[in-house]
């Protein structure tokens, strides 16, 4: 059974989750083999998930020889620490590490939070979320600057892995928010294209169309339409 002692790495996941996607990207960047377990978040969570993440009952969960690690950004940092022989996502310098953690936290608290409001809301609250999203994208573009990746001199790193899943969601945000990432933040759009060329990202993300269709169905279920 998945998640037992000496079972290696097991990821409890859900295909469209940006938080799951970032763990898939990190595992691929590190070349670590793992067992992927798709959870049915709508039909009923597995006992393993409920046991492994009793506080939040959310995916992703990484089980390492049966021991659970919860929260996607914690999982990324755990992988760096537990597998020091693999390419590190965080830089070595303490200040650069703190900087990367700050931006990954910004992406969760601002970008993904705002993204959810964009597809869940209508009318004035949607317009408010749209305005916030444009500011968030501009802020992230300013942080990227002229760099190829947020990881900077280290290449693709922690912030890139944390943020790249959003690129599978851009089409959904753009459609419901009625804006274009390429127009608001062209350097961010170029970064998204560069991420898509990386094998670790390409094989971890689902197509923007599939994400958009899924959210369309969820909106109907939730009565947003």
Contact positions toward ligand GS8, by CB under 6 A? 14, 17, 19, 41, 57-60, 71-73
Between 59 and 144, name the residue whose CB sits nearer to ligand GS8. Answer: 59
| Chain residue whose CB lies nearest ligand GS8 | 58
Q: Kindly state the smallest distance separating residue 177's Cβ from ligand GS8, in Å.
A: 18
Give the C-alpha distances (Å, rounded to integers) separating 193 from 72, 154, 167, 203, 206. Answer: 23, 18, 9, 14, 14
b/e string for 91-120 if b means 16 or more Cβ within 10 A?
beeeebbebbbebbebbbebbbebbebbbb
108 vs 174, which CB is nearer to ligand GS8? 108
The number of beta carbons lying within 10 Å of the beta carbon of residue 137 is 21
The two structure tokens encoding residue 110:
């601002």
Nearer to ligand GS8, 72 or 88 (CB): 72
In angstroms, what is the minimal distance from the CB of 69 to ligand GS8?
10
Task: Report the residue number, 72 or 167, with the smaller CB distance to ligand GS8.
Answer: 72
Question: What's the min distance (Å) between Cβ of 211 and ligand GS8?
Answer: 12
Identify which of residues 109 and 122 has a Cβ nearer to ligand GS8 in the complex.
109
Q: How many CB atoms lie within 10 A of CB 219?
A: 15
Which among 56, 24, 55 is positioned nearest to 38, based on CA atoms? Answer: 24
State in angstroms the smallest separation of the CB of 57 from ligand GS8.
Answer: 6
- The Cα 45–Cα 58 span in angstroms is 9
Q: Which residue, 111 or 189, has its beta carbon nearer to ligand GS8?
A: 111
Buried b (16+ CB within 10 A) or exposed e, 36-72: ebebeeeeebbebbeebbeeeebbbbbbbebebbbbb
């Amino acid at each position: 059974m998945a998640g037992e002692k000496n079972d290696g790495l097991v990821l409890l996941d859900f295909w469209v989750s940006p938080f799951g996607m970032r763990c898939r990207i990190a595992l691929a960047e590190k070349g670590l083999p793992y067992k992927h377990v798709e959870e049915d978040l709508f039909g009923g969570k597995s006992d393993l998930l409920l046991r492994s993440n009793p506080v939040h009952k959310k995916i992703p969960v990484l089980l390492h020889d049966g021991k659970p690690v919860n929260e996607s950004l914690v999982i990324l940092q755990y992988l760096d620490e537990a597998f020091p022989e693999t390419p590190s996502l965080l830089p070595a310098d303490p200040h650069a590490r703190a900087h990367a953690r700050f931006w990954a936290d910004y992406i969760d608290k601002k970008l993904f939070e705002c993204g959810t409001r964009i597809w869940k809301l209508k009318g004035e609250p949607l317009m408010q979320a749209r305005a916030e999203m444009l500011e968030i994208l501009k802020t992230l573009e300013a942080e990227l600057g002229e760099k190829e990746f947020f990881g900077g001199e280290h290449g693709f790193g922690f912030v890139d892995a944390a943020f790249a899943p959003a690129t599978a969601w851009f089409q959904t945000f753009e459609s419901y928010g009625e804006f274009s990432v390429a127009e608001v933040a062209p350097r961010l759009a170029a970064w998204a294209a560069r991420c898509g060329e990386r094998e670790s990202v390409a094989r971890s993300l689902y197509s923007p169309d599939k994400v958009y269709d899924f959210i369309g169905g969820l909106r109907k279920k939730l009565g947003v339409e």
